[in-house]
Protein backbone atom coordinates (compact mmCIF):
# COMPACT_ATOMS: atom_id res chain seq x y z
CA UNK A 1 0.00 0.00 0.00
CA UNK A 2 2.89 2.37 0.78
CA UNK A 3 4.46 1.93 -2.64
CA UNK A 4 1.25 2.69 -4.63
CA UNK A 5 0.67 5.78 -2.48
CA UNK A 6 4.22 6.97 -3.10
CA UNK A 7 3.82 6.35 -6.81
CA UNK A 8 0.53 8.26 -6.84
CA UNK A 9 2.15 11.17 -4.97
CA UNK A 10 5.03 11.24 -7.45
CA UNK A 11 2.67 11.22 -10.43
CA UNK A 12 0.60 14.06 -8.95
CA UNK A 13 3.77 16.00 -8.17
CA UNK A 14 5.02 15.52 -11.73
CA UNK A 15 1.73 16.62 -13.28
CA UNK A 16 1.41 19.60 -10.91
CA UNK A 17 4.99 20.71 -11.60
CA UNK A 18 4.50 20.44 -15.35
CA UNK A 19 1.25 22.38 -15.24
CA UNK A 20 2.72 25.15 -13.07
CA UNK A 21 5.69 25.63 -15.38
CA UNK A 22 3.57 25.48 -18.55
CA UNK A 23 1.23 28.04 -17.03
CA UNK A 24 4.19 30.22 -15.97
CA UNK A 25 5.49 30.16 -19.55
CA UNK A 26 2.02 31.14 -20.88
CA UNK A 27 1.75 27.88 -22.82
CA UNK A 28 -1.30 26.48 -21.01
CA UNK A 29 -4.30 28.32 -19.60
CA UNK A 30 -6.75 25.60 -18.75
CA UNK A 31 -7.25 26.23 -15.07
CA UNK A 32 -10.21 28.57 -15.57
CA UNK A 33 -12.11 26.03 -17.68
CA UNK A 34 -11.24 23.17 -15.33
CA UNK A 35 -12.27 25.12 -12.23
CA UNK A 36 -15.49 26.22 -13.91
CA UNK A 37 -16.31 22.64 -14.87
CA UNK A 38 -15.50 21.38 -11.37
CA UNK A 39 -17.57 24.17 -9.83
CA UNK A 40 -20.63 23.23 -11.85
CA UNK A 41 -20.12 19.53 -11.13
CA UNK A 42 -19.75 19.96 -7.35
CA UNK A 43 -22.32 22.78 -7.13
CA UNK A 44 -19.88 24.97 -5.21
CA UNK A 45 -18.64 28.52 -5.57
CA UNK A 46 -15.32 29.32 -7.25
CA UNK A 47 -13.67 30.25 -3.93
CA UNK A 48 -14.80 27.00 -2.32
CA UNK A 49 -13.58 24.93 -5.25
CA UNK A 50 -10.17 26.64 -5.38
CA UNK A 51 -9.66 26.21 -1.63
CA UNK A 52 -10.55 22.52 -1.75
CA UNK A 53 -8.18 22.02 -4.70
CA UNK A 54 -5.42 23.74 -2.74
CA UNK A 55 -6.09 21.44 0.23
CA UNK A 56 -5.77 18.33 -1.96
CA UNK A 57 -2.70 19.63 -3.81
CA UNK A 58 -0.88 20.74 -0.65
CA UNK A 59 -1.69 17.42 1.02
CA UNK A 60 0.09 15.45 -1.68
CA UNK A 61 2.92 17.96 -2.03
CA UNK A 62 3.56 18.10 1.71
CA UNK A 63 4.22 14.36 2.00
CA UNK A 64 4.99 12.98 5.44
CA UNK A 65 6.92 15.83 7.06
CA UNK A 66 8.86 19.04 6.70
CA UNK A 67 11.72 17.39 4.80
CA UNK A 68 9.39 15.79 2.28
CA UNK A 69 7.64 19.14 1.84
CA UNK A 70 10.98 20.86 1.22
CA UNK A 71 12.00 18.19 -1.29
CA UNK A 72 8.69 18.50 -3.16
CA UNK A 73 8.95 22.30 -3.30
CA UNK A 74 12.52 22.07 -4.62
CA UNK A 75 11.31 19.48 -7.14
CA UNK A 76 8.68 21.90 -8.45
CA UNK A 77 11.16 24.80 -8.53
CA UNK A 78 13.85 22.86 -10.44
CA UNK A 79 11.39 20.85 -12.52
CA UNK A 80 12.77 21.89 -15.98
CA UNK A 81 16.26 20.67 -15.07
CA UNK A 82 14.85 17.48 -13.52
CA UNK A 83 12.79 16.85 -16.65
CA UNK A 84 15.84 17.41 -18.85
CA UNK A 85 17.86 15.00 -16.73
CA UNK A 86 15.11 12.37 -16.91
CA UNK A 87 14.93 12.73 -20.70
CA UNK A 88 18.70 12.28 -21.05
CA UNK A 89 18.72 9.35 -18.61
CA UNK A 90 15.92 7.42 -20.24
CA UNK A 91 17.23 8.23 -23.73
CA UNK A 92 20.60 6.77 -22.79
CA UNK A 93 18.94 3.79 -21.18
CA UNK A 94 16.83 3.19 -24.30
CA UNK A 95 19.87 3.49 -26.56
CA UNK A 96 21.81 1.06 -24.36
CA UNK A 97 18.91 -1.41 -24.40
CA UNK A 98 18.68 -1.23 -28.20
CA UNK A 99 22.43 -1.73 -28.59
CA UNK A 100 22.38 -4.59 -26.14
CA UNK A 101 19.50 -6.32 -27.90
CA UNK A 102 21.20 -5.99 -31.30
CA UNK A 103 24.79 -6.95 -30.47
CA UNK A 104 24.86 -8.85 -27.20
CA UNK A 105 21.96 -11.30 -27.24
CA UNK A 106 24.07 -14.29 -26.38
CA UNK A 107 25.67 -12.51 -23.46
CA UNK A 108 22.27 -11.38 -22.27
CA UNK A 109 21.04 -14.97 -22.18
CA UNK A 110 24.04 -16.14 -20.16
CA UNK A 111 23.57 -13.36 -17.66
CA UNK A 112 19.82 -13.79 -17.29
CA UNK A 113 19.94 -17.54 -16.60
CA UNK A 114 21.52 -17.37 -13.11
CA UNK A 115 19.24 -14.48 -12.29
CA UNK A 116 16.18 -16.58 -13.04
CA UNK A 117 17.56 -19.47 -10.98
CA UNK A 118 18.24 -17.14 -8.11
CA UNK A 119 14.76 -15.71 -8.38
CA UNK A 120 13.25 -19.19 -8.29
CA UNK A 121 15.33 -20.12 -5.27
CA UNK A 122 14.37 -16.95 -3.50
CA UNK A 123 10.74 -17.65 -4.26
CA UNK A 124 11.01 -21.10 -2.77
CA UNK A 125 12.89 -19.98 0.34
CA UNK A 126 10.83 -16.87 1.09
CA UNK A 127 7.63 -18.46 2.26
CA UNK A 128 5.37 -15.76 3.73
CA UNK A 129 4.15 -15.99 7.31
CA UNK A 130 0.71 -15.03 8.57
CA UNK A 131 2.18 -12.69 11.18
CA UNK A 132 4.15 -10.85 8.52
CA UNK A 133 1.00 -10.43 6.45
CA UNK A 134 -0.96 -9.15 9.43
CA UNK A 135 1.77 -6.65 10.30
CA UNK A 136 1.98 -5.48 6.69
CA UNK A 137 -1.81 -5.15 6.51
CA UNK A 138 -1.90 -3.05 9.67
CA UNK A 139 0.93 -0.85 8.42
CA UNK A 140 -0.73 -0.37 5.04
CA UNK A 141 -4.04 0.48 6.69
CA UNK A 142 -2.33 2.98 8.95
CA UNK A 143 -0.54 4.67 6.03
CA UNK A 144 -3.73 4.76 3.94
CA UNK A 145 -5.72 6.27 6.82
CA UNK A 146 -2.97 8.80 7.46
CA UNK A 147 -2.98 9.96 3.84
CA UNK A 148 -6.76 10.11 3.57
CA UNK A 149 -7.21 12.11 6.79
CA UNK A 150 -4.24 14.41 6.29
CA UNK A 151 -6.33 17.22 4.73
CA UNK A 152 -8.51 17.21 7.86
CA UNK A 153 -5.51 17.33 10.22
CA UNK A 154 -3.35 19.97 8.53
CA UNK A 155 -3.43 23.27 6.67
CA UNK A 156 -5.35 25.21 9.30
CA UNK A 157 -5.03 28.49 7.37
CA UNK A 158 -6.71 26.98 4.31
CA UNK A 159 -9.61 25.76 6.45
CA UNK A 160 -9.88 29.29 7.84
CA UNK A 161 -10.05 30.68 4.29
CA UNK A 162 -12.66 28.08 3.35
CA UNK A 163 -14.72 29.08 6.39
CA UNK A 164 -14.40 32.72 5.34
CA UNK A 165 -15.30 32.16 1.69
CA UNK A 166 -17.96 29.45 2.12
CA UNK A 167 -21.34 30.20 0.59
CA UNK A 168 -23.11 26.89 1.10
CA UNK A 169 -23.99 25.84 4.63
CA UNK A 170 -22.71 22.23 4.35
CA UNK A 171 -19.29 23.56 3.35
CA UNK A 172 -19.44 26.07 6.20
CA UNK A 173 -20.32 23.32 8.70
CA UNK A 174 -17.46 21.08 7.54
CA UNK A 175 -14.89 23.87 7.56
CA UNK A 176 -16.08 25.13 10.95
CA UNK A 177 -15.97 21.69 12.57
CA UNK A 178 -12.48 21.04 11.21
CA UNK A 179 -11.37 24.50 12.36
CA UNK A 180 -12.76 23.91 15.86
CA UNK A 181 -10.92 20.58 16.05
CA UNK A 182 -7.67 22.31 15.03
CA UNK A 183 -8.34 25.05 17.57
CA UNK A 184 -8.98 22.58 20.39
CA UNK A 185 -5.88 20.58 19.51
CA UNK A 186 -3.67 23.67 19.38
CA UNK A 187 -5.09 25.00 22.64
CA UNK A 188 -4.50 21.67 24.38
CA UNK A 189 -0.92 21.51 23.12
CA UNK A 190 -0.19 25.08 24.19
CA UNK A 191 -1.55 24.55 27.70
CA UNK A 192 0.27 21.24 28.05
CA UNK A 193 3.49 22.85 26.87
CA UNK A 194 3.12 25.79 29.24
CA UNK A 195 1.93 23.94 32.34
CA UNK A 196 2.87 20.28 32.28
CA UNK A 197 5.97 19.83 30.15
CA UNK A 198 9.59 20.71 30.58
CA UNK A 199 10.33 24.05 29.01
CA UNK A 200 13.40 24.89 27.01
CA UNK A 201 14.80 26.59 30.12
CA UNK A 202 14.48 23.36 32.10
CA UNK A 203 16.17 21.45 29.28
CA UNK A 204 18.93 24.06 29.16
CA UNK A 205 19.38 23.85 32.92
CA UNK A 206 19.53 20.06 32.92
CA UNK A 207 21.90 19.93 29.96
CA UNK A 208 24.38 22.43 31.44
CA UNK A 209 24.24 20.82 34.90
CA UNK A 210 24.82 17.32 33.51
CA UNK A 211 27.65 18.46 31.23
CA UNK A 212 29.44 20.40 33.99
CA UNK A 213 29.17 17.51 36.46
CA UNK A 214 30.46 15.03 33.88
CA UNK A 215 33.48 17.20 33.03
CA UNK A 216 34.33 17.83 36.69
CA UNK A 217 34.05 14.11 37.50
CA UNK A 218 36.29 13.35 34.55
CA UNK A 219 38.76 15.97 35.75
CA UNK A 220 39.09 14.14 39.10
CA UNK A 221 39.41 10.72 37.46
CA UNK A 222 41.85 11.60 34.69
CA UNK A 223 45.53 10.60 34.76
CA UNK A 224 47.54 13.54 33.45
CA UNK A 225 50.58 11.39 32.62
CA UNK A 226 48.84 8.62 30.66
CA UNK A 227 46.00 10.57 28.99
CA UNK A 228 46.69 11.69 25.38
CA UNK A 229 47.29 15.38 24.82
CA UNK A 230 44.30 15.74 22.47
CA UNK A 231 41.94 14.50 25.18
CA UNK A 232 43.47 16.90 27.71
CA UNK A 233 43.02 19.80 25.31
CA UNK A 234 39.38 18.87 24.71
CA UNK A 235 38.64 18.61 28.44
CA UNK A 236 40.36 21.93 29.15
CA UNK A 237 38.43 23.76 26.41
CA UNK A 238 35.11 22.24 27.55
CA UNK A 239 35.57 23.17 31.21
CA UNK A 240 36.59 26.71 30.28
CA UNK A 241 33.56 27.07 27.95
CA UNK A 242 31.14 25.79 30.61
CA UNK A 243 32.64 28.12 33.20
CA UNK A 244 32.13 31.10 30.88
CA UNK A 245 28.54 30.00 30.12
CA UNK A 246 27.67 29.52 33.81
CA UNK A 247 29.13 32.90 34.74
CA UNK A 248 27.16 34.49 31.90
CA UNK A 249 23.90 32.96 33.16
CA UNK A 250 24.60 33.92 36.79
CA UNK A 251 26.17 37.38 36.51
CA UNK A 252 25.15 38.89 33.17
CA UNK A 253 21.87 40.89 33.10
CA UNK A 254 21.69 40.32 29.34
CA UNK A 255 20.70 36.68 29.80
CA UNK A 256 17.74 37.50 32.05
CA UNK A 257 16.54 40.26 29.72
CA UNK A 258 16.94 38.08 26.64
CA UNK A 259 15.05 35.24 28.35
CA UNK A 260 12.19 37.52 29.31
CA UNK A 261 12.17 39.04 25.83
CA UNK A 262 11.97 35.63 24.15
CA UNK A 263 9.28 34.46 26.56
CA UNK A 264 7.12 37.56 26.13
CA UNK A 265 7.54 37.49 22.34
CA UNK A 266 6.47 33.84 22.29
CA UNK A 267 3.43 34.64 24.45
CA UNK A 268 2.48 37.55 22.17
CA UNK A 269 2.76 35.46 19.00
CA UNK A 270 0.81 32.61 20.58
CA UNK A 271 -1.91 34.97 21.78
CA UNK A 272 -2.24 36.57 18.33
CA UNK A 273 -2.35 33.16 16.64
CA UNK A 274 -5.18 31.94 18.85
CA UNK A 275 -7.07 35.22 18.38
CA UNK A 276 -6.70 34.68 14.62
CA UNK A 277 -8.21 31.19 14.84
CA UNK A 278 -10.99 32.21 17.22
CA UNK A 279 -11.99 35.05 14.89
CA UNK A 280 -12.76 32.63 12.05
CA UNK A 281 -14.72 30.42 14.44
CA UNK A 282 -16.78 33.43 15.56
CA UNK A 283 -17.38 34.39 11.93
CA UNK A 284 -18.52 30.87 11.00
CA UNK A 285 -20.85 30.54 13.98
CA UNK A 286 -22.38 33.95 13.28
CA UNK A 287 -22.87 33.06 9.61
CA UNK A 288 -24.62 29.79 10.51
CA UNK A 289 -26.81 31.64 13.02
CA UNK A 290 -27.79 34.22 10.36
CA UNK A 291 -26.16 37.01 12.39
CA UNK A 292 -24.26 39.84 10.74
CA UNK A 293 -20.57 39.79 11.78
CA UNK A 294 -17.66 40.68 9.55
CA UNK A 295 -14.31 38.98 9.96
CA UNK A 296 -12.38 42.20 10.86
CA UNK A 297 -14.87 42.83 13.68
CA UNK A 298 -14.50 39.23 14.86
CA UNK A 299 -10.70 39.47 14.78
CA UNK A 300 -10.62 42.73 16.79
CA UNK A 301 -13.02 41.25 19.35
CA UNK A 302 -10.93 38.07 19.61
CA UNK A 303 -7.68 40.02 19.85
CA UNK A 304 -9.00 42.16 22.72
CA UNK A 305 -11.33 39.55 24.19
CA UNK A 306 -11.09 40.83 27.82
CA UNK A 307 -12.42 44.24 26.66
CA UNK A 308 -14.64 43.50 23.66
CA UNK A 309 -16.17 40.18 24.68
CA UNK A 310 -19.57 41.84 25.04
CA UNK A 311 -19.41 43.11 21.44
CA UNK A 312 -19.78 39.60 20.03
CA UNK A 313 -23.24 38.38 18.95
CA UNK A 314 -25.28 37.03 21.84
CA UNK A 315 -25.82 33.50 20.59
CA UNK A 316 -25.31 30.44 22.74
CA UNK A 317 -22.37 28.83 20.92
CA UNK A 318 -20.54 32.13 20.40
CA UNK A 319 -20.86 32.84 24.13
CA UNK A 320 -19.49 29.38 24.93
CA UNK A 321 -16.55 29.87 22.59
CA UNK A 322 -15.87 33.37 23.92
CA UNK A 323 -15.95 31.98 27.46
CA UNK A 324 -13.39 29.34 26.52
CA UNK A 325 -11.09 31.95 25.00
CA UNK A 326 -11.53 34.36 27.89
CA UNK A 327 -10.84 31.62 30.45
CA UNK A 328 -7.78 30.32 28.62
CA UNK A 329 -6.34 33.83 28.20
CA UNK A 330 -7.16 35.45 31.55
CA UNK A 331 -7.46 32.64 34.10
CA UNK A 332 -4.88 30.21 32.70
CA UNK A 333 -2.91 31.94 30.01
CA UNK A 334 -0.82 35.02 30.59
CA UNK A 335 -0.53 35.05 34.40
CA UNK A 336 0.26 31.34 34.66
CA UNK A 337 2.82 31.45 31.86
CA UNK A 338 4.55 34.50 33.36
CA UNK A 339 4.72 32.87 36.79
CA UNK A 340 6.02 29.69 35.21
CA UNK A 341 8.66 31.64 33.29
CA UNK A 342 9.69 33.55 36.43
CA UNK A 343 10.14 30.31 38.38
CA UNK A 344 12.16 28.73 35.61
CA UNK A 345 14.48 31.73 35.32
CA UNK A 346 14.96 31.67 39.11
CA UNK A 347 15.71 27.93 39.11
CA UNK A 348 18.16 28.37 36.24
CA UNK A 349 19.97 31.14 38.13
CA UNK A 350 20.14 29.01 41.28
CA UNK A 351 21.48 26.07 39.28
CA UNK A 352 24.10 28.33 37.73
CA UNK A 353 25.11 29.46 41.21
CA UNK A 354 25.42 25.83 42.38
CA UNK A 355 27.50 24.86 39.33
CA UNK A 356 29.69 27.94 39.77
CA UNK A 357 30.25 27.01 43.42
CA UNK A 358 31.41 23.55 42.44
CA UNK A 359 33.71 24.97 39.80
CA UNK A 360 35.13 27.33 42.46
CA UNK A 361 35.86 24.58 45.00
CA UNK A 362 39.48 24.29 46.09
CA UNK A 363 39.98 20.71 44.87
CA UNK A 364 38.41 21.52 41.51
CA UNK A 365 40.58 24.63 41.11
CA UNK A 366 43.73 22.68 41.92
CA UNK A 367 42.92 20.04 39.33
CA UNK A 368 41.97 22.71 36.81
CA UNK A 369 45.26 24.57 37.34
CA UNK A 370 47.24 21.35 36.85
CA UNK A 371 45.29 20.66 33.65
CA UNK A 372 45.86 24.21 32.43
CA UNK A 373 49.59 24.03 33.13
CA UNK A 374 49.82 20.65 31.45
CA UNK A 375 48.05 21.80 28.28
CA UNK A 376 49.65 25.26 28.05
CA UNK A 377 53.09 23.85 28.91
CA UNK A 378 52.90 21.32 26.11
CA UNK A 379 51.58 23.96 23.71
CA UNK A 380 54.36 26.42 24.61
CA UNK A 381 57.09 23.77 24.41
CA UNK A 382 57.33 23.35 20.61
CA UNK A 383 56.97 27.11 20.16
CA UNK A 384 59.91 27.78 22.44
CA UNK A 385 62.03 25.14 20.72
CA UNK A 386 61.24 26.54 17.28
CA UNK A 387 62.32 29.96 18.37
Residue 319, helix vs strand vs coil:
helix
pLDDT for 19: 72
Residue 377 has pLDDT above 60, yes or no: yes
Q: Are residues 145 and 248 in the same domain?
A: no
Q: Are residues 141 and 265 in the same domain?
A: no
105, with CB counted inside 10 A (0-12, 13-18, 19+), is: exposed
Q: Are residues 143 and 254 in the same domain?
A: no
The structural domain count of the chain equals: 2
| pLDDT tens-digit map of 66-120 | 666 677 778 778 888 888 888 888 888 888 888 877 765 545 454 454 544 444 4
Q: What is the largest CA-CA distance in the chain?
A: 91
To the nearest 5 percent, what fractions of the chain are helix, strand and coil? 85, 0, 15
Terminal alpha carbon distance of the chain? 72
Please give the Cα distance from 128 to 190 (Å, whole number).
46
Please give the Cα distance from 66 to 182 (Å, whole number).
19
* Structural domain contains residue 345: yes
Q: Are residues 106 and 192 in the same domain?
A: no
Four-CA torsion 367, 371, 376, 377, nearest 10 degrees: 90
Q: What angle do CA 269, 272, 274 make, to 5 degrees?
A: 110
Please give the Cα distance from 277 to 299 (Å, whole number).
9
Residue 318 has pLDDT above 80, yes or no: yes
Residues near 176 by beta carbon (within 8 Å), at least 6 away in sequence = 163, 281, 284, 285, 288
Mean pLDDT score of the chain:
75
Q: Are residues 367 and 240 in the same domain?
A: yes
Whole-angstrom CA distances from 260 to 50, 207, 264, 267, 274 are 43, 20, 6, 10, 21
Please give the Cα distance from 355 to 214 (Å, whole number).
12
Range(s) of the domain holding residue 50: 2-124+135-154
Confidence band, pLDDT 50/70/90 cuts, at residue 12: confident
Q: Are residues 112 and 219 in the same domain?
A: no
* Structural domain contains residue 6: yes
Q: Are residues 142 and 212 in the same domain?
A: no
Residue 18 has pLDDT above 60, yes or no: yes
Amino acid sequence: MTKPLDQTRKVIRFVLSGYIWLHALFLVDGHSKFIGLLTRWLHLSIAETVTLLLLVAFTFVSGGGIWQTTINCLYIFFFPFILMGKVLYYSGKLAFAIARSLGFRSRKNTIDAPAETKRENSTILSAPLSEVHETALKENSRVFLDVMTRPLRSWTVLWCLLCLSAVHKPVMWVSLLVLLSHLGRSLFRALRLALFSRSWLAQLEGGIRSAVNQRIDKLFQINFELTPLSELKTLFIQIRAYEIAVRFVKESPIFARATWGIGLSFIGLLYTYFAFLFSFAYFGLAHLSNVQLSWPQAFVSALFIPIYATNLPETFWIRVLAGIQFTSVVAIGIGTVLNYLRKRVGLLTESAQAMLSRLSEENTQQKYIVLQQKVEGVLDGPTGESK
